[in-house]
Amino acid sequence: MPAPLVTPPQPHGPVPTTRQLQWHQHEFYGFLHFGVNTFTDREWGYGDEDPALFNPTDFDADQIASTAAAAGMTGLILTCKHHDGFCLWPSRYTQHSVRHSPWKSGEGDMVREISDACARQGIRFGAYLSPWDRNHAEYGRPQYVDDYRKQLVELTTEYGDLFEVWFDGANGGDGHYGGANETRHIDRRTYYDWETTWQIIRKHQPGAVMFSDAGPDVRWVGNEKGIAGDPCWSTLSTKALYPGFGGDWNTGFEPDMVNAWASDGQMLNEGDRGGEGWLPAECDVSVRPGWFYHTAEDDQVRTPEQLLELYFHSVGRGASFLLNVPPDRRGRWHERDVESLLGFRRRLDDIFTRDLACEAQISASQTRGNADEFAPGRLLDADPLTYWSTDDDQVSAEVTLQFPSPVTLNLIRLREHLPLGQRVDKFILQTRQGDEWQTFGQGSAIGNCRLLRGQTTTTTAVRIGILTGAACPALQEIGIFYDSDAAE
Ligand code: FUL
pLDDT digits (tens, 9 = 90+) for 292-319: 999 999 999 999 999 999 999 999 999 9
Test site for ligand 1: of 168, 212, 283, 288, most ligand atoms within 8 A of the Cβ: 168
pTM over 0.75: yes
Q: Is 168 in the pocket of ligand 1 (CB under 6 A)?
A: yes
Distance 140 CA to ligand 1 centre (A): 19
**How wide is the angle at C-alpha 75 spanned by C-alphas 264 and 68, nearest 5°?**
115
Q: What is the model's pLDDT at position 213?
A: 82
Q: Is 169 in the pocket of ligand 1 (CB under 6 A)?
A: yes
Say whether pLDDT at 242 is over 80: no
Nearest residue CA, atom 1 of ligand 1? 168
Q: Is 170 in the pocket of ligand 1 (CB under 6 A)?
A: yes
Instruction: Tell me what the pLDDT averaged over the chain comes to.
Output: 93
Q: Is 291 in the pocket of ligand 1 (CB under 6 A)?
A: yes
Closest CA to 71 of 343, 451, 449, 355: 343
Alpha carbon distances (Å) from 244 to 181, 239, 241, 247, 480: 37, 7, 9, 9, 45
Question: Residue 31 CA: which ligand 1 atom is closest?
Answer: 9
56-60, 83-87, 239-243, 266-270: the lowest-pLDDT one:
239-243
Work out the average pLDDT over 157-174: 92
Closest CA to 457 of 433, 476, 478: 433
Closest CA to 434 of 398, 404, 458: 458
State how far the Cα of 143 lies from the Cα of 141, in Å rounded to an integer: 6
Distance 217 CA to ligand 1 centre (A): 19
132 in Cβ contact with 160 (< 8 Å):
no
Distance 466 CA to ligand 1 centre (A): 40
Distance 358 CA to ligand 1 centre (A): 42
Question: Residue 292 CA: which ligand 1 atom is closest?
Answer: 5
Helix or strand or coil: residue 187? coil
Question: What are the pLDDT digits (tens) for 95-133?
Answer: 999 999 999 999 999 999 999 999 999 999 999 999 999
Distance 153 CA to ligand 1 centre (A): 22
Distance 44 CA to ligand 1 centre (A): 9
State how far the Cα of 147 lies from the Cα of 178, in Å rounded to an integer: 14
Residue 430 CB contacts under 8 Å (≥ 6 apart), including other chains: 437, 438, 439, 440, 462, 463, 465
Distance 239 CA to ligand 1 centre (A): 25
Nearest residue CA, atom 6 of ligand 1? 291
Distance 351 CA to ligand 1 centre (A): 32
Test site for ligand 1: of 29, 84, 128, 291, most ligand atoms within 8 A of the Cβ: 291
Closest CA to 127 of 76, 51, 90, 87: 76
Distance 48 CA to ligand 1 centre (A): 19
Question: Residue 82 CA: which ligand 1 atom is closest?
Answer: 7
**How wide is the angle at C-alpha 128 spanned by C-alphas 127 and 130, nearest 5°?**
145
Question: Residue 169 CA: which ligand 1 atom is closest?
Answer: 11
Say whether pLDDT at 331 is over 60: yes
Length, in residues, of the chain: 488
259-263, 428-432, 478-482: the lowest-pLDDT one:
259-263
332 in Cβ contact with 60 (< 8 Å):
yes
Work out the average pLDDT over 262-277: 82
pLDDT: which is higher, 237 or 339 = 339
Q: Is 284 in the pocket of ligand 1 (CB under 6 A)?
A: yes
Q: Is 70 in the pocket of ligand 1 (CB under 6 A)?
A: no
Distance 473 CA to ligand 1 centre (A): 39
Bridge partners, residue 214, by sequence: 219
277 in Cβ contact with 14 (< 8 Å):
yes
